[in-house]
């Protein structure tokens, strides 16, 4: 058989909302490599660590490849017949509101469009919500309150042009790394540019900022209301802009003026001097962009925070002009695309408003549909409450894992277990959510599917397939269209391909628009399949026949409110900050640098799993001391809703009184680390977005009698332990464990962990010190290390990066084997330390050694070790190590 020709396909990264262009190379033998697309305007060739490792995540290990009914493999026809029968039965008996779709910012715009059309136009309900509700619903609500439309006014270019970038509730160094690097590059070119970070934690983004305001949780409304008052007292107000293009300024200012400096200080926990510094900088800098993300959105007052920020930009007229504007960063790759086609239960497609009878009529006539949803549907948290109390009888979940990602996640799991009919479409066979499905449907993954995504700056890019569909996997839009046809709406769901779906969506944005709605991509209403295949990234709006057109909004008004004016929104800070309700600490959640969501994709990559190997809780040293917790202890973080066991990390980067736990770990990778199970389902009253960054929790040390660490070629099974977490390494797995009771001798523990098929026939070398509770064991397959296990009564003090590197290496000599069991690197194999640069596997120890040998800059460390010279995501951490070395050297 002739080998396929090598080719390179232009596509888009499937992780964050930066939306970087990717060139996926497929070699003649099928091997895939990725690199940044130098011609894509979102990244100009850059990729972060996650994007650079995309090729590591493409194997079919764990994939769902065929439809299943229960545990039984089924045909597509059988599975879809059952889905259609169950949905039709629920609608007949209980009405359209008894069924729901729960979608994902991972879906393509075409998938979203088809699901919304079916639910809102043909089933006649609006119960279509998405995990974007957890991501940026407060930004959507804030935009619509102020602008009358969900419009991000600016572009990424504004970050290059700004003299001041204010980053609020975001950690772009880890969560939007390519934008972080873009800001850093702009700063290097223009040293007068300033960066201010507003975030309770001293994240890696703080290290790159001129000023870090370590604000109290939810202090943002007070900070920006106070800023509005300050601006009014300065010369920074743009009275002409306010008068011509806005309403409500005086009433809003009257409320904001109550925020004197003392009140702002009290509500933000910030020193008056820092607040004054920030206010003066903002007032004096015309070219200011305020970037915000989940720290603003994921809050019980998230919409007010967004409007408090927008108020300051409207008041100064700093909007829609180069280098100016409020700028919401989306978390997910296609959160913005979902918004465009009505991916939220309170919106219609094409930015039509479900609360507007005229808009509902436009949608119904465009779709030629028999009905149209008469009111907003259930937002994510309410939707799953309705699943739990039996109002939802049939639910279809696509490309998301709500059992891990929604607040009160244990209640979500119980609700799904009790729901009469649950369909899950996913690429993975076993997630915490697929386990509860009556029907599982195999979806196409990144690299296999075809469609469009929209990034944070309204730039639409193609995701293109470069791999064949595995097994019987199908595109999500095809699955929903099949349901539409089986429910009797054949003509409306008969697209031949994704290009036809996109063309229909584009036509809808132009339908009876005439400039009345911001979103218009009518230029593509008749796009052909070849043109769709060639489609270059573009920013909307792109109305038919109108080229060129500005891609910024609102420099000269033109808002999408009834009077065409922007609305100032008076925001009242919560003066009585929510207490912790008898619990001691405030929980904050978020991402780590190299992982994404619930690990279904990045958990497959050894290099991405090297940076942070297990779930953790970051505690301030004073809090840790108060709770009797020392570094690397196991701690329980608990609330009335649930508890997790995670590793303690003690750091003064954390605010006192707060604890940070990452969102990624789940039952597949850890024993008890689903942090969203701990979080109360408190939501913003306007947006319905849950407050995932502020929950009341208690923290206590878990009294572990045994701690353990292992590397193994087979996946170890530690489910009998109180605490465990596994992660991929090259050629196998690593395991951390802890238990509150004795586990037995080292051989007995190894037998349980490694299983007979991983142990049999291997040679064991063991050491035990029963008196002190230490045990070490190594299993050799001929000369190669197949597994190693270290047990101790305290956290195991063995270098993880060294141990990981030993797996699969030859250790033929007796001395080498005993060195392994002793957990000591040989002199010629120094300890790398914790991995900092995941692209080249460079550890903190190596970077510190380079600093000690005279490397005084990130570039010098890069030249000596390679660290930071590829994607650059680790440069902040390298800078921190160099600075720490300097501080030590200076005495
Ligand atoms: Fe992907 Fe990283 Fe770009 Fe985000 S910044 S789109 S994760 S490469």
pLDDT at 883: 83
Q: What percent of the chain has pLDDT over 70?
A: 97
CA distance linking residue 101 with residue 47, whole number of Å: 33
Quickly state the pLDDT bin for 582 (edges 50, 70, 90).
Answer: low
Give the CB-side neighbour count of residue 178, counting CA atoms within 13 A: 29
pLDDT above 50 (res 219):
yes
* Whether the Cβ atoms of residue 757 and residue 763 lie closer than 8 Å to each other: no
Q: How far is the CA of 46 from the centre of ligand 1 (A)?
A: 9
| Helices and strands in the chain, H and E counts | 31, 34
Q: How far is the CA of 337 from the centre of ligand 1 (A)?
A: 16
Q: What number is the average pLDDT over the span 329-336?
A: 90
What does pLDDT average to over the chain? 94
CA distance linking residue 710 with residue 688, whole number of Å: 43
Three-class SS of residue 68? strand
pLDDT above 90 (res 656):
yes
Which of 11, 12, 17, 20 best tests ligand 1's pocket when mutated (most atoms within 8 Å of CB)? 20
Helix or strand (DSSP H, E) at 413? helix 409-418
Whole-number Cα distances in Å, 887 to 206, 652, 762, 882, 883: 18, 16, 49, 9, 6
Three-class SS of residue 397? strand
* Whether the Cβ atoms of residue 423 and residue 486 lie closer than 8 Å to each other: no
Give the CB-side neighbour count of residue 764, counting CA atoms within 13 A: 17
Q: Which of 25-34, 731-740, 764-773 has the lowest average pLDDT?
A: 764-773
Q: Report residues whose beta carbon is within 6 angstroms of any ligand 1 atom.
A: 13, 15-16, 18-20, 43, 47-48, 50-51, 176-178
CA distance linking residue 605 with residue 663, whole number of Å: 18
Find, among 380, 406, 289, 399, the residue nearest to 333 by Cα: 399
* Whether the Cβ atoms of residue 171 and residue 139 lie closer than 8 Å to each other: no
Name the residue at shortest CA distance from atom 3 of ligand 1. 20
* Whether the Cβ atoms of residue 227 and residue 279 lie closer than 8 Å to each other: yes
Q: 575 or 750: whose pLDDT is higher?
A: 750
pLDDT at 5: 77
What pairs with residue 182 in β-bridges?
Answer: none
Q: 573 or 327: whose pLDDT is higher?
A: 327
Quickly state the pLDDT bin for 694 (edges 50, 70, 90).
Answer: very high
Sequence-distant (6+) residues with CB within 8 A of 878 are: 836, 837, 847, 858, 861, 862, 867, 868
- How far is Cα of residue 466 from the mean position of the Cα atoms in its chain? 24
* Whether the Cβ atoms of residue 21 and residue 453 lie closer than 8 Å to each other: no
CA distance linking residue 314 with residue 319, whole number of Å: 7
Name the residue at shortest CA distance from atom 4 of ligand 1. 16
Which atom of ligand 1 is the closest one to the Cα of 15? 7
CA distance linking residue 569 with residue 577, whole number of Å: 21
CA distance linking residue 491 with residue 500, whole number of Å: 13
Helix or strand (DSSP H, E) at 784? strand 784-792
Quickly state the pLDDT bin for 1 (edges 50, 70, 90).
Answer: very low
Give the CB-side neighbour count of residue 685, counting CA atoms within 13 A: 1
CA distance linking residue 300 with residue 298, whole number of Å: 7
Q: What number is the average pLDDT over the span 769-773?
A: 80
Strands (E) across 329-391 are located at none
Find, among 337, 261, 278, 343, the residue nearest to 312 by Cα: 278
Helix or strand (DSSP H, E) at 158? helix 157-161
Find, among 109, 51, 198, 205, the residue nearest to 477 by Cα: 109
Q: Which of 79-83, 144-148, 805-809 has the lowest average pLDDT?
A: 805-809
- What is the pTM for the complete model shown? 0.94
Quickly state the pLDDT bin for 841 (edges 50, 70, 90).
Answer: confident
Q: What percent of the chain has pLDDT over 90?
A: 84
String of DSSP letters for 86-133: HHHHHHHHH-GGGEEEEE-TTS-HHHHHHHHIIIIIII----EEEGGG
Q: What sign results for the dihedral spanned by CA atoms 272, 277, 283, 289? A: negative
Q: Which of 379-383, 676-680, 769-773, 857-861 has the lowest average pLDDT?
A: 769-773
Show the tokens assigned to 158. 């504004």
Residue with tokens 């990452």: 662
Q: What number is the average pLDDT over the span 49-75?
A: 96
Highest mean pLDDT of the ranges 36-50, 328-342, 814-828: 36-50
Find, among 636, 526, 638, 539, the residue nearest to 583 by Cα: 638
Q: Which of 181-190, 214-223, 460-469, 865-874 has the lowest average pLDDT?
A: 865-874
Plot region of 688 (φ>0 → left; ψ -120 to 50 → alpha; else → beta):
left
Q: How far is the CA of 51 from the centre of ligand 1 (A)?
A: 5
pLDDT at 576: 43
Show the tokens assigned to 304. 């007010």
CA distance linking residue 468 with residue 436, whole number of Å: 29
pLDDT at 886: 79
Find, among 415, 405, 417, 407, the residue nearest to 642 by Cα: 407
Q: How far is the CA of 448 from the centre of ligand 1 (A)?
A: 19
Three-class SS of residue 509? helix
Which of 19, 51, 461 best tests ligand 1's pocket when mutated (most atoms within 8 Å of CB)? 51
pLDDT at 630: 96
pLDDT above 50 (res 540):
yes
Find, among 2, 3, 43, 49, the residue nearest to 23 by Cα: 43
pLDDT at 577: 45
Q: What number is the average pLDDT over the span 169-195?
A: 95
Which of 11, 38, 43, 55 best tests ligand 1's pocket when mutated (most atoms within 8 Å of CB)? 43
Which atom of ligand 1 is the closest one to the Cα of 455? 6
The three state secondary structure string of 189-222 is HCCCCEEEEECCCCCHHHHCCCEEECCCCCCHHH
Which atom of ligand 1 is the closest one to the Cα of 177? 5
pLDDT at 222: 97
């Amino acid at each position: 058989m002739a080998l396929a020709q090598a080719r390179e396909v232009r596509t888009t990264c499937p992780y964050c909302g930066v939306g970087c262009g990717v060139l996926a190379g497929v070699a003649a033998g099928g091997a895939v490599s990725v690199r940044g697309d130098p011609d894509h305007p979102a990244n100009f060739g850059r990729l972060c660590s996650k994007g650079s490792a995309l090729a590591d995540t493409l194997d079919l290990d764990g994939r769902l490849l065929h439809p299943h009914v229960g545990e039984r493999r089924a045909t597509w026809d059988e599975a879809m017949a059952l889905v259609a029968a169950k949905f039709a039965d629920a609608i007949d008996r209980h009405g359209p509101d008894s069924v729901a779709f729960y979608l994902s910012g991972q879906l393509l715009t075409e998938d979203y469009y088809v699901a919304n059309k079916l639910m809102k136009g043909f089933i006649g309900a609006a119960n279509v919500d998405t995990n974007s509700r957890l991501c940026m619903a407060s930004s959507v609500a804030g935009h619509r309150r102020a602008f009358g439309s969900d419009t991000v006014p600016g572009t990424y270019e504004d970050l290059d042009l700004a003299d001041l970038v204010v980053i609020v509730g975001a950690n772009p160094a880890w969560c939007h790394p390519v934008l972080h690097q873009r800001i850093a590059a702009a700063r290097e070119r223009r040293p007068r540019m300033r960066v201010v970070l507003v975030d309770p934690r001293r994240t890696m983004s703080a290290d790159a900022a001129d000023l870090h305001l370590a604000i109290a949780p939810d202090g943002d409304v007070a900070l920006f209301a106070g800023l509005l008052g300050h601006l009014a007292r300065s010369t920074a107000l743009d009275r002409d802009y306010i008068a011509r293009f806005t309403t409500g300024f005086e009433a809003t200012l009257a409320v904001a003026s109550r925020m004197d400096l003392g009140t702002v200080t009290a509500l933000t926990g910030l020193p008056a001097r820092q607040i004054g510094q920030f206010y003066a900088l903002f007032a004096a800098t015309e070219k200011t962009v305020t970037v915000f993300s989940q720290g603003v959105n994921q809050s019980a007052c998230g919409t007010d925070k967004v409007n408090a920020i927008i108020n300051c930009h409207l008041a100064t007229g700093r909007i829609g002009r180069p280098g100016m504007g409020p700028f919401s960063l989306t978390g997910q790759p296609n959160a913005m695309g979902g918004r465009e086609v009505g991916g939220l239960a309170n919106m219609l497609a094409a930015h039509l408003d479900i609360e507007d009878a005229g808009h509902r009529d436009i949608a119904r006539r465009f779709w030629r549909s028999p009905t149209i949803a008469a009111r907003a549907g259930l937002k994510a948290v309410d939707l799953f409450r309705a699943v739990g109390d039996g109002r939802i009888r049939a639910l279809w979940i696509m490309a998301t894992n709500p059992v891990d990602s929604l607040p009160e996640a244990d209640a979500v799991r119980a609700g799904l277990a009790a729901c009469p009919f649950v369909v899950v479409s996913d690429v993975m066979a076993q997630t915490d959510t697929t386990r509860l499905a009556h029907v599982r449907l195999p979806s196409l993954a990144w690299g296999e599917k075809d469609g469009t995504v929209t990034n944070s700056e309204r730039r639409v890019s193609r995701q293109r397939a470069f791999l064949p569909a595995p097994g019987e996997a199908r595109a999500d839009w095809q699955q929903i269209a099949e349901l539409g046809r089986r429910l009797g709406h054949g003509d409306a769901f008969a697209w031949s391909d994704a290009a036809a779906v996109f063309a229909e969506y584009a036509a809808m944005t132009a339908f009876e628009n005439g400039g009345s709605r911001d979103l218009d991509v009518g230029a593509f209403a008749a796009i052909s399949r070849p043109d769709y295949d060639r489609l270059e990234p573009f920013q909307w709006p792109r109305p038919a026949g109108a080229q060129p057109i500005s891609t910024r909004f609102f420099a000269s008004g033109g808002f999408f409110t009834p009077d065409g004016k922007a609305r100032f929104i008076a925001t009242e800070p919560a003066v009585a900050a929510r207490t912790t309700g008898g619990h001691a600490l405030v929980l904050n959640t978020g991402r780590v640098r190299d992982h994404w969501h619930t690990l279904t994709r990045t958990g497959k990559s050894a290099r991405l799993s090297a940076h942070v190997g297990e779930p953790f809780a970051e505690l301030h040293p004073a809090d840790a001391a108060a709770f009797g917790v020392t570094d690397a202890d196991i701690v329980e973080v608990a609330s009335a809703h649930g508890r997790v066991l995670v590793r303690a990390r003690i750091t003064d980067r954390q605010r006192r009184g707060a604890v940070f736990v990452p969102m990624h770990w789940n039952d597949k990778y850890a024993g008890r680390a689903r942090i969203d199970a701990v979080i109360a389902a408190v939501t913003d009253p306007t947006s319905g977005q849950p407050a995932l960054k502020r929950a009341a929790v208690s923290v206590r040390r878990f009294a572990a009698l045994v701690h353990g660490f292992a590397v193994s070629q087979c996946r170890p099974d530690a489910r009998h332990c109180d605490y465990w977490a596994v992660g991929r390494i090259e050629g196998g797995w690593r395991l951390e464990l802890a238990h509150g009771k004795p586990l037995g001798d080292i051989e007995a523990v190894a037998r349980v962990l490694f299983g007979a098929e991983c142990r049999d026939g291997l040679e064991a070398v063991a050491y035990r010190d029963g008196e002190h509770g230490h045990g070490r064991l190594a299993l050799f397959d001929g000369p190669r290390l197949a597994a190693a296990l270290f047990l101790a009564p305290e956290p195991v003090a063995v270098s993880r990066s060294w141990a990981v590197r030993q797996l699969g290496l030859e250790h033929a000599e007796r001395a080498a084997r005993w060195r392994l069991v002793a957990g000591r690197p040989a002199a010629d194999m120094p300890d790398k330390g914790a991995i900092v640069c995941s692209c080249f596997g460079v550890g903190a120890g190596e970077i510190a050694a380079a600093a000690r040998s005279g490397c005084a800059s990130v570039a010098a460390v890069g030249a000596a070790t390679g660290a930071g010279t590829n994607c650059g995501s680790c440069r902040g951490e390298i800078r921190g190590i160099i600075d720490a070395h300097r501080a030590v050297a200076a005495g």
